Amino acid sequence: MRAFVAVIEERYFSQAAARLGISQQAVSKRIARLESDLGLRLCSRSRNGAEPTEDGLAFLPHARALIGIADRAREVLGGRRRTLRVDVLDTRLAAVIDVIRAFHDRSEGVDVELVTSNGLRTARTTLARGSVDAAFCRVSGPLEDLDSVPAHLEPLHLLVARGNPLAGRQAIRVAELAGSTVWMPGNAPGSEWAEYYRLLGAAFDIGIDASGPDFGWEHFVADVAAGRRVSLVGEGTLVPRHPEIMRIPLVDPTPVYPCSLLFHRHNHQSVLEAFIRFVTARYLRFDPGRQWLPEADRASFS
């Protein structure tokens, strides 16, 4: 419609092309497509330039009105302060929250809203609907209209009671856990993190006990502190303080949990694009000589 209005007002395709900043051929193609969509001929060429047909004259005021509405709508959206809505699994996952906070601190005029959900299982839907702009999660399976960039690799720690024989160690080789069982009550069936721990267990002969119910972090820590179970947590996970709890890094290799930033590939708002660049710039690549990832995650994080 912009091409049609420009041609009628300028009378020449060349001048309309200069006004729109596109080629004369592009102007012709756009008008041809508009005429094809409407099933009508809107203008004709002569020595004196382009002239609107009878149908073109009837359509011209409506085309101008529609262009005006589109311009006003764009001005409203462009001037609106846009909130970046980010989906996180849990606000205790400090590594992810630190990234979001750092972006907010350096981005003047940007509001950020955190949404907690069930990871990839709900992020696919909320991103498709536009309810959130980005989601931090482990990516598994086809993405369809979604895209992702690697965001963070979270080293794992063993969580044990102070009286556990391993409690005095500075680090534990992951191979030393072979034949033992770790308790992961939050491993919801079908979740991407439950799949990760299943693969970790298979790789190092570690049993994964996902029995629950999951009563929350305080009860989880209290059960581990009582010495009945040991568990795994991310290095940056904010575990509730307990005097009888010890955290010990796993090494040789260090299992790392892969976290990606997921977003809809047709969402081109500037604040999201800036956030993607920020996350990408901070990412530290997977080190296969020192770290462990499931085979399925390695290509995306290398």
Confidence (pTM): 0.73
Q: CA triplet 223, 229, 230: central angle to 5 degrees?
A: 110
The one-letter amino acid code at 100 reads I
Specify the pLDDT at position 82: 66
Specify the pLDDT at position 90: 87
Question: Within the chain, where are the H helices?
Answer: 2-10, 13-20, 24-38, 54-79, 94-106, 120-129, 192-204, 217-225, 270-282, 295-301
Per-residue pLDDT of the chain (302 residues; tens, 9 = 90+): 999 999 988 888 988 888 888 899 999 999 999 999 999 999 988 878 888 899 999 999 899 889 888 877 776 665 555 689 999 988 888 889 999 999 999 988 788 999 888 888 888 889 988 889 999 999 987 888 899 999 999 999 999 999 999 998 999 999 999 999 999 998 988 899 999 999 999 999 999 999 878 888 899 999 999 988 999 999 999 999 999 999 999 999 999 999 999 999 988 888 999 999 999 999 999 999 999 999 999 999 98
Of 104, 100, 106, nearest in space to 87 by CA:
100
Domains located in the chain, CATH noted: 2-79 (1.10.10.10), 83-302 (3.40.190.290)
What the block records as the tokens of 206 is 């570690």
